Amino acid sequence: MKKTPKGYVCGLGNYASTLYIAVVKANSVEKVEAEVVAFVEAIKNNAKISHFTKDPSIAKEIRVKAIQKICGEAKFSDATINFIVIFAENLRLKNIDTVAKRFVELSMAFKVEVKASVTTVFPLP
C-alpha cells in the first residue's frame, strides 16, 4: 500500500470516514471513539493479542469469533464490534491503529476540538 504525506496508508482513511459517518448518524461518536482507542491500546499492551491481530495464517472464522468474543466481553457497542469484525475479515487488523488515529481526528473535528502544543519558559503546574 502506498503512504500519503501524512503517513496514512491509502484506503485506510476510507474505513475511518465510513465509521465516522455511521456513528454520527447513530449519535455515538464519543462512545465509539473511546472503544476503538481502547481496542488499539489493548493490542499495544498485550503481546498475545498483538500477535493474533497481525498473524495472517489464522483462519478467518477463528479470527472473527475471537474478535467478537473480545469485543463482547469489553461490552463494546454494535457499531464498534461490526467495524472491528470487518477489519478482522479483511486481514486489516494490523492497520487498526492508523485508522483509529484518523477516526480520532474526525471525532475531534465533530466535537470542535483542536489539538495544540504549548511551549512555556517555566514548567506548568
- Give the pLDDT means over successive 10-residue stretches in the chain (125 positions): 46 77 83 92 89 86 90 91 89 87 83 78 86
Distance CA 51, CA 69 (A): 17
pLDDT at 55: 86
b/e 16-38 (16+ beta carbons within 10 angstroms → b): beebbeebeeeebbeebbebbbe
Q: What pLDDT does 7 receive?
A: 45
30 vs 84: CA distance, rounded Å: 16
Name the pTM for this structure: 0.73
- CA–CA dist 109, 63 (Å, integer): 33
110: exposed, middle or buried (C-beta count within 10 Å: 0-12, 13-18, 19+)? middle
pLDDT score recorded for residue 41: 93
**C-alpha cell of 70?**
473480545
Give every CB contact of residue 22 below 8 A, 6+ residues apart in sequence.
79
pLDDT for 18: 83
Residue 68: the pLDDT is 92
Residue 39 contacts residue 96 (beta carbons within 8 Å) = yes
Q: What is the pLDDT of residue 5?
A: 45
Task: Indicate the SS3 state at residue 81.
Answer: helix
